[in-house]
Structure 1
């Protein structure tokens, strides 16, 4: 059986992570994706190499958001380069970009400028802060637009003397935003099947941060005004917090149904009498006395190793787990069994593990990761498929239209 997006053609005019995530997912599902890079390639290539201290031909932190695409290095400021771009769009179903709006306007490739020329095109953009408002043209990365401005980062802070905000990691807001935009693109493609018309699909890092924070934002809204950031134990359910075990490993349980699980948890931890002595009988009283109950749990967790607690809690059907490090996931049987990570080969032949798109279709099984590529690796092949001759290609290289 073929892949569900076979025959769909995508042009990616994007750098870094968020917008390329959309196209990586589409490529895994069978779409033909042409990535347009500038001179030297996507800036994320160098950033990613620095993250892993790896050579250019072994760049898994780049491949994880780009594998399976074709690359051409074009100069869109050159008339011939722009001509190639438009020829690609003539065949394309989707354009995905994170280029700032004012730059798109200067190039004459913003949505309003080209929508009539390409009426069936799905034009998808990913911005920092959206298309309206005072910061619509501001630059944005996920650590500021997604994590900081949305309230996520400050709210994760434990309110304690000498504490400081978390150091966010590895483009998580970008991947979240790109995954949401992927859904928007799929919706627009489905709508086009009914109407025959393309559409303009937008998503921003800031919007994604607000969306994933919906529950917490409703708690913080007046008149509820939940106090973020909160102390470790303070007006919250202490059964949902991380605790350090005897072996130094942190672990966490999650219990929302007090009547079903709490008594079993307290008995297993040997603190049932202490909890009862505090007058705790339900979730409301537990939350109100969390500053008293929390330290009891903290001391109890410290008496056994994480593995010992996991064995006890799993028998009781209590949701629990260790706080893994990223390196632990590569050896996690659950991740391997579901192919959440797969083996692949870098350009230099080195075998590495790579994360897979979080989409599972029963007809497809786990999606296979595509091939990595060098900047502009497929440029001449793409141009010939568009009808350009060898002489045309040579001329573009000379003029600077093709890098």
Structure 2
């Protein structure tokens, strides 16, 4: 591979998807050099007009859409027309990967489900992202991440802190989608690698519910017999050295101690509570868990005597892992994020500059991280068709037939 050559250069991915989870695959692939052709309906991807979290959803400034779609080519294709289907199949002739989150019954109706096209395109990696999987009573049910990922997996109900005035954990923008799509990307790359050895394509599946179960795996193990760990937890439950505590400056700070003999006594000494802890009969992890109701209030009072910065300095000198609970806005100013290129500036279609996360994949051979430009629906119609071999006259006829808008 030549210096600074992106690893997926020469790979074509066709994206028949909207919203977030499945388009994540295309976003990461585009960042790594793949040609990603996004097929949008005549009105565009539904996510274009969502405008969540108080961001703009204007055609020329749409950060919530851009983050999952920069670097792609947009083809506003009407697949309900004969000409539209001809273009779609012509795209697949030169494609390595097809990614979709369209429900299977709709794919079957169009004749583009995996079983219908696998023999025609034997080298194609066909990747699907569903709400609940391909089997079972809910296989055809619609599913957004707040239901299939957050609610069904137990995350929303059981990851809250039980107590007066507590509520279930509220889902935040597309977090389950992002995990699901990133996982599906890994599956697609595995299938692509296998194809290089066998010459055969494959069918790759992922669901939001599957991702939620995977994420909650440790908790699922803990709820089984004989452990029967209760969820949701109370504040005064668990390992008191691994909780978050409010400091004098109002910020929260959390430590993590897994090796009791190595770090716990340092922690107690730093807080000046070694004697009280000993008086409670705490001498290992098990006894610390048993006395959480005594330790948590004790630690809460001590942490309030110093600022988070002061505590971070103290714990840093003792080699105890600790960190402030950052606010989302803090990440935009975090030197560590910028130094590792986890964030980059980009320019919206209207020229406004914003900050965007980069894809969480790094290859040493690819050189500086870059991503492509945002785009309007159908921006690349003529370019894509020209590259497929259509003449200008044919393209005009396709527009006239209503296959492109």
User: TM-score category by the smaller chain?
Assistant: over 0.9
TM-score by length of 2: 0.97
Aligned to 2:319: 317
Aligned to 2:334: 332
Q: 1:213 aligns with which of 206, 213, 216?
A: 216
**Contact 1:120/1:192 (8 A) holds in 2:** yes
Give the number of aligned pairs.
402
Aligned to 2:105: 102
Aligned to 1:307: 309
Aligned to 2:190: 187
**Contact 1:74/1:402 (8 A) holds in 2:** yes
Alpha-carbon distance in 1 for matches of 2:289, 2:228: 16
Aligned to 2:384: 382
TM-score by length of 1: 0.98
Q: Alpha-carbon deviation of 1:366?
A: 5.0
Q: Alpha-carbon deviation of 1:393?
A: 1.8
Matched, 1:42 2:67: no
Query: SS at the partner of 2:38?
Result: strand
Distance change in 2, residues 1:50/1:257 (3 Å): closer
Q: Alpha-carbon deviation of 1:391?
A: 2.2
Alpha-carbon distance in 2 for matches of 1:167, 1:249: 21
Query: SS at the partner of 1:197?
Result: coil
Query: SS at the partner of 2:262?
Result: helix
Q: Alpha-carbon deviation of 1:388?
A: 1.5
Aligned to 2:91: 88
Alpha-carbon distance in 2 for matches of 1:279, 1:88: 70
Aligned to 1:62: 65
| Structure 1: segments with no counterpart, 5+ residues | none
Alpha-carbon distance in 2 for matches of 1:80, 1:290: 68
| Bigger mean CA offset, 65-74 vs 381-390 | 381-390
Aligned to 1:400: 402
Aligned to 1:266: 268
1:113-152 equivalences in 2 (<5 Å):
113-152=116-155
CA distances 1:192-225 after superposition (whole Å, capped 9, x unpaired): 0111000000000000000111111100122221
Q: 2:80 aligns with which of 77, 94, 109?
A: 77
**Contact 2:49/2:57 (8 A) holds in 1:** no
**Contact 1:357/1:367 (8 A) holds in 2:** no
Query: SS at the partner of 1:138?
Result: coil
Please give the root-mean-square deviation of Cα atoms over the aligned residues, in Å: 1.2
**Contact 1:249/1:323 (8 A) holds in 2:** yes
Alpha-carbon distance in 2 for matches of 1:79, 1:296: 72
Alpha-carbon distance in 2 for matches of 1:51, 1:375: 22
Q: 2:370 aligns with which of 368, 371, 375?
A: 368
CA distances 1:346-390 after superposition (whole Å, capped 9, x unpaired): 111112110001111122245212111111100111111112222
| Bigger mean CA offset, 19-28 vs 161-170 | 161-170
**Contact 1:338/1:366 (8 A) holds in 2:** no
Query: SS at the partner of 1:75?
Result: coil
Aligned to 1:175: 178
CA distances 1:90-139 after superposition (whole Å, capped 9, x unpaired): 00000000000011001110000000000000000000000000000000
Distance change in 2, residues 1:306/1:366 (3 Å): farther
Aligned to 1:298: 300
Q: Alpha-carbon deviation of 1:159?
A: 1.6
**Contact 1:339/1:356 (8 A) holds in 2:** yes
Q: 1:22 aligns with which of 7, 12, 25?
A: 25
Q: Alpha-carbon deviation of 1:162?
A: 2.5
Query: SS at the partner of 1:96?
Result: strand
**Contact 2:124/2:200 (8 A) holds in 1:** yes
Alpha-carbon distance in 2 for matches of 1:47, 1:33: 22
Q: 2:278 aligns with which of 273, 276, 279?
A: 276
Q: Alpha-carbon deviation of 1:50?
A: 6.8
Aligned to 2:352: 350
**Contact 1:360/1:366 (8 A) holds in 2:** no
| Structure 2: segments with no counterpart, 5+ residues | none
Distance change in 2, residues 1:198/1:370 (3 Å): same
CA distances 1:304-355 after superposition (whole Å, capped 9, x unpaired): 1111111111111111111111111010011011010011111111121100
| Bigger mean CA offset, 366-375 vs 260-269 | 366-375
Distance change in 2, residues 1:50/1:325 (3 Å): closer
Q: Alpha-carbon deviation of 1:155?
A: 1.5
Aligned to 1:158: 161
